[in-house]
Structure 1
Amino acid sequence: MSHSTAPSPRTVLLRGGEVHSPADPFATAMVVEGDTLAWVGSEGAADSFADGVDEVVHLEGALVTPAFTDAHVHTTATGLALTGLDLAGATDLADALARIRAHAAAHPHDRVLLGTGWDSSAWPEGRHPSRAELDEAAGGRALYLSRIDVHSGLASTALLDRVPDVTQLTGYAPASPLTGDAHHAVREAAHRDLTPVQRREAQRAARAHAASLGVGSLHECAGPEISGTDDLAELLALAEEESGPRVFGYWGEAVATAKEAQAIRELGVLGAAGDLFVDGSLGSHTAHLSRPYADEAHTGLAHLDTDTVAAHVAACTEAGLQAGFHAIGDAALETVVAGVALAADRLGIARIRAARHRIEHAEMLTERTLAAFAEYALTASVQPGFDAAWGGRDGMYAARLGDERARTLNPLAAMQRAGVPLAVGSDSPVTPLGPWAAVRAAAFHRTPEHRISVRGAFTAHTRGGWRAVGRDDAGVLVPGAPADYALWSAGELVVQTPDDRVAGWSTDPRSGTPGLPDLTPGGQLPVCLRTVVGGRTVYAGPNE
């Protein structure tokens, strides 16, 4: 791709490509003035701008789309997985232990060894490393390993010894992964030993990686049981100081009064939302279910009750903050909608709807809870990558729930039909950053009746993320929108639907529908050439 430049460009003309814009489904050019999109139109009309701009970008057929928004990210943890010990690719127990040994040898001065991504359900041995095996692999040093879903973890003896009375905390068992209070305490102890330099390097790595994938905004889901206020403050400051994806912060802590809500606001976040845990995860057997797991004789963990949810939603609504919760199991989601209903009885449904409260994951929706999401305009912050990783008859969901219940999970099509606002994210590092892979996972859901169109998934991963933070004017290439966009090498553009009964895609221009890349499984995903945020280039590919 070639381009001509001028010093300190203020106005940019992009031409000769495919511009994905509802303002003009056949657009091939656009003009950016400062940090705002000024015009979208045809190649012929672009000639009238050519002499009055500071920079001309010749797209050479590249696709231009809005930059993606990842609506659920743990930025520091993502960066640590990128720069440190990532066990997501471990093929078996021996491979995981070998990776731990290699990481320990390569980082002799780290005060604590941190890793993420292990998933013993996918290993032939079907078990996690024992404490003795961890101690040996780490050379007797402090080691913390977060499970892929981040709701349980493993620790070496040296790290456990740093947590007073850990054996008395809920969620501790000598031969099992840590859950509940024990897990939170051990994770906090591990993260305390991160130096500011380590943290900043991890945050920079995560933002740079996101930018390289065409992601222009991240919703950071922080909280006292995930990270800390220092981590959040440093990340928000970094996003202000250095170019890269925007960061919208959330802090997952329950409030019940206006004073508590104000304290949350002073953290610089949009809401007391994100990972405010009503329950845990399916993989760790901690999601709260109405009936026992298929492979364990219990129903998981309930962290909040209906009254606490109601008080939190009411306090946030009155303070002008978004409220939100992490809720996965059907029982947890019942708790959430019952609490929201109580808050609506107190404040009026109009105020609840206007606040745009949000629920993370929302995997086990029933007809009743789905209807309540629509009634109260609750945004569902969903992760299609979860289904790609754990769905299907042979997946983790089926092992935990049985096939019948597993087939109900992540009902994206039903949410869309009901009018539930959708915002797509990754929950990285739980599943990797990768927006086109997420769009593909939504369009080719392992349960066919839950599939949505590529266009619907794309919209939820672009405009939906902005709407989730209260902005209706962004995430789309129309005049007046923020100049957040990405350039792609994408191949032929099509209009792709999830309906196998009819032709699945069309290139007929008479449809008047802007095309998107063909995301049929097995095909190559688009490659990002450039990412621009607020009119500033934050990623340029090697050929730029």
Structure 2
Amino acid sequence: MNERSASQQTVLLRRGEVHSPADPFATAMVVERGQVAWVGSEGAADAFADGVDEVVDLDGALVTPAFTDAHVHTTATGLALTGLDLSGAPSLAAALTLVRDFAAARPDDRILLGHGWDAARWPERRAPRRDELDEATGGRPLYLSRIDVHSAVVTTALLDLAPGVRGKAGFIDGEPLARDAHHVLRAAAYAAVTTAQRTEAHRAALAHAASLGIGSVHECAGPEISSEDDFTGLLGLAAQEPGPRVVGYWAQQNVDTARRLGAVGAAGDLFVDGSIGSHTACLHEPYADAAHTGTAYLDAAAVAAHVVACTESGLQAGFHAIGDAAVVAVVEGMRAAAEQVGLARIRAARHRVEHAEMLTPETVAAFAELGLTASVQPAFDALWGGDDGMYAQRLGVERAHTLNPFAALLRSGVPLAFGSDSPVTPLDPWGTVRAAAFHRTPEHRVSVRAAFTAHTRGGWRAIGRDDAGVLVPGAPADYAVWRTDELIVQAPDDRVARWSTDPRSGTPGLPDLSPGTDLPVCLRTVVGGRTVFVRPGE
């Protein structure tokens, strides 16, 4: 395939498989002026062949809507791609070796940044000590975020850049930094990153997303996560350069700031609590491995005030809520807001809850009643679920089995938008679909088709767009071309049927994502009719 990037051109794609509800047996598609103009059969495509600027021979490839990753931290993702990634370190000793090698290879960096350590997976079962990191870096400033980005370890030199941090909540000498102390040190670390480094990170993250068939990302930024300059710089770059669309959320209880920065919502990681791995998710009952119930950052009254302010301002509200007590605070706050502004307005605003891991039948029903979108990350279960995973260590096996109940959410009519929370888990859209379809707890599984919809159309619906994320005439021409094996149709009960030409099925096929199978390979990604990625050699 030859790369053509002009969004105003008319392009005919033919001799492939086009995943479209407009025609479940489509093999061709016409794109015109950045929109899908026609979807249909190979024979009918001949009528368009002479009137297009380009003909793309798919040679049997699959065309699908581009994925939307509904929860991304773009700068941190880019810095992980260009910096120190500890997610694959098998032990504390190996992690320290990686830190030492990285410091030696980057002698001119003002600050060393790394991500991804997870002591729960190491045989030593502990985080790196500050003295170990001081030795490994030669006394230079270093910030290393835990895999969930809710705690971090740092060197003495970085502590010296924020001397007041020792009096902040979450600072316990000799322990990983959490809560306010972590936020202060993260801000100090990111403040030392130059504009050029940030721009490099943005480009790296967006280019990587495009190479995976991702056409849109929801940037979840905020004053405790990044900075205003970082946020506006990312939005500006995405508007000026070809690449995935970036939809910005600013997590602050100040709707005027969110509007001024160009955010679609004062939402995203507006923290009601922390994370399970860092023992900061807010629970009703104590952790199985710690004698406390986590941390509450916002109560129901604060949630209600923020939701009312956002609703009145025409912005989305949204909250990071993981623990069961945090989710209840969001639900109670939303209901209190509905009493003030009316339930219909709350539903129409499509407010969001990020992560929403510890749900009960009552809170699932409340999400449906209030019209809340659940922005969730199936890879969390793949990484931390199961009888011996991190969830079970922190919560016990019985509670761990209740987490991430995707099937219950769908049955109740709760809109799902899938994401990665990258760099917490990697950008990996087909892996995310697989994780939802083959959840470690079988009763929480959804069909591949439902998971695919949540990772494509679901992300568009989460921002109030019902006309996108699907290949039908009039929709934005955001699509990806894939090399894949035979297509199948999977039912919600995990039965699969080989793709048939029986028109009574009326269901487009999708790749077989059974564990052990190869995931599709992205050959081309197009956003708004403009090619933003072509695999070399295609």
TM-score bin, normalised by smaller chain: over 0.9
1:528 aligns with 2:522: yes
In 2, distance between residues paired with 1:4 and 1:60?
16
Which of 375, 378, 395 is the aligned partner of 1:381? 375
In 1, distance between residues paired with 2:497 and 2:253?
46
1:338 aligns with 2:337: no
Shift of 1:3: 5.4
Cross-structure match for 2:40: 41
Cross-structure match for 2:428: 434
Shift of 1:133: 0.4
The DSSP-based 3-state class of the residue aligned with 2:379 is helix
Cross-structure match for 1:447: 441
Q: What CA deviation, in whole Å up to 9, does each residue of 1:391-432 have, x standing for no partner?
A: 000100000000110000000000000000000000000000
1:360 aligns with 2:354: yes
1:444–1:498 Cα contact (<8 Å) kept? no
Q: What CA deviation, in whole Å up to 9, does each residue of 1:78-112 have, x standing for no partner?
A: 00000000000101011101111111111111111
Shift of 1:162: 1.1
- Consecutive unaligned residues in structure 1, runs of 5 or more: 256-260
1:290 aligns with 2:284: yes
The DSSP-based 3-state class of the residue aligned with 2:523 is strand
Q: What CA deviation, in whole Å up to 9, does each residue of 1:153-184 have, x standing for no partner?
A: 00100000111222111000111100011000
Cross-structure match for 1:519: 513
Cross-structure match for 1:258: none
Cross-structure match for 1:196: 195
Shift of 1:4: 9.6
Cross-structure match for 1:493: 487
1:312 aligns with 2:306: yes
The DSSP-based 3-state class of the residue aligned with 1:153 is strand
Which of 491, 497, 502 is the aligned partner of 1:505? 497
In 2, distance between residues paired with 1:320 and 1:467?
16
In 2, distance between residues paired with 1:478 and 1:111?
50
Classify 1:487/1:196 alpha carbon distance in 2 versus 1 (closer, same or farther; 3 Å).
same
Cross-structure match for 1:84: 83
The DSSP-based 3-state class of the residue aligned with 2:80 is helix
The DSSP-based 3-state class of the residue aligned with 1:165 is helix
Shift of 1:113: 0.3
Letter of the aligned partner of 1:25 in structure 2?
P
Classify 1:38/1:226 alpha carbon distance in 2 versus 1 (closer, same or farther; 3 Å).
same
| Correspondences of 1:83-232 after superposition (within 5 Å) | 83-232=82-231
Classify 1:228/1:4 alpha carbon distance in 2 versus 1 (closer, same or farther; 3 Å).
closer
| Correspondences of 1:478-489 after superposition (within 5 Å) | 478-489=472-483
In 2, distance between residues paired with 1:436 and 1:509?
25
The DSSP-based 3-state class of the residue aligned with 2:258 is helix
Shift of 1:262: 2.8
Classify 1:17/1:229 alpha carbon distance in 2 versus 1 (closer, same or farther; 3 Å).
same
Letter of the aligned partner of 1:454 in structure 2?
V
Number of residue-to-residue matches in the alignment: 536
In 2, distance between residues paired with 1:465 and 1:543?
31
Shift of 1:497: 3.1
The DSSP-based 3-state class of the residue aligned with 1:45 is helix
1:276 aligns with 2:270: yes
1:35–1:483 Cα contact (<8 Å) kept? yes
- Consecutive unaligned residues in structure 2, runs of 5 or more: none
1:219–1:248 Cα contact (<8 Å) kept? yes
Classify 1:281/1:383 alpha carbon distance in 2 versus 1 (closer, same or farther; 3 Å).
same
Taking only the aligned residue pairs, the percentage that are identical comes to 71
In 2, distance between residues paired with 1:39 and 1:527?
25
Letter of the aligned partner of 1:286 in structure 2?
T
Q: What CA deviation, in whole Å up to 9, does each residue of 1:43-75 have, x standing for no partner?
A: 000000000000000000000000000000000
Cross-structure match for 2:246: 247
1:272–1:322 Cα contact (<8 Å) kept? yes
In 2, distance between residues paired with 1:10 and 1:507?
33
Letter of the aligned partner of 1:486 in structure 2?
A
1:302 aligns with 2:301: no
Classify 1:139/1:63 alpha carbon distance in 2 versus 1 (closer, same or farther; 3 Å).
same
Q: What CA deviation, in whole Å up to 9, does each residue of 1:247-276 have, x standing for no partner?
A: 000000114xxxxx2332111010000000
Classify 1:31/1:465 alpha carbon distance in 2 versus 1 (closer, same or farther; 3 Å).
same
In 2, distance between residues paired with 1:183 and 1:224?
13
In 1, distance between residues paired with 2:426 and 2:50?
43
TM-score, normalisation: structure 1: 0.97
Which of 443, 459, 463 is the aligned partner of 1:465? 459
Classify 1:223/1:42 alpha carbon distance in 2 versus 1 (closer, same or farther; 3 Å).
same
In 1, distance between residues paired with 2:74 and 2:140?
25
2:281–2:326 Cα contact (<8 Å) kept? yes
1:30–1:38 Cα contact (<8 Å) kept? yes
The DSSP-based 3-state class of the residue aligned with 1:216 is strand
Q: What CA deviation, in whole Å up to 9, does each residue of 1:331-360 have, x standing for no partner?
A: 000000000000000111000000000000
Shift of 1:7: 8.6
Cross-structure match for 2:24: 25
In 1, distance between residues paired with 2:514 and 2:290?
37
In 2, distance between residues paired with 1:505 and 1:262?
52
The DSSP-based 3-state class of the residue aligned with 2:163 is coil
Which of 315, 320, 327 is the aligned partner of 1:321? 315
In 1, distance between residues paired with 2:217 and 2:517?
27
The DSSP-based 3-state class of the residue aligned with 2:173 is coil
1:327–1:333 Cα contact (<8 Å) kept? yes
TM-score, normalisation: structure 2: 0.98
Q: What CA deviation, in whole Å up to 9, does each residue of 1:221-265 have, x standing for no partner?
A: 00111101110010000001110000000000114xxxxx23321
In 2, distance between residues paired with 1:96 and 1:4?
41
In 2, distance between residues paired with 1:324 and 1:157?
36
1:211–1:531 Cα contact (<8 Å) kept? yes
In 2, distance between residues paired with 1:279 and 1:543?
47
Letter of the aligned partner of 1:543 in structure 2?
G
Classify 1:8/1:24 alpha carbon distance in 2 versus 1 (closer, same or farther; 3 Å).
closer
The DSSP-based 3-state class of the residue aligned with 1:219 is strand
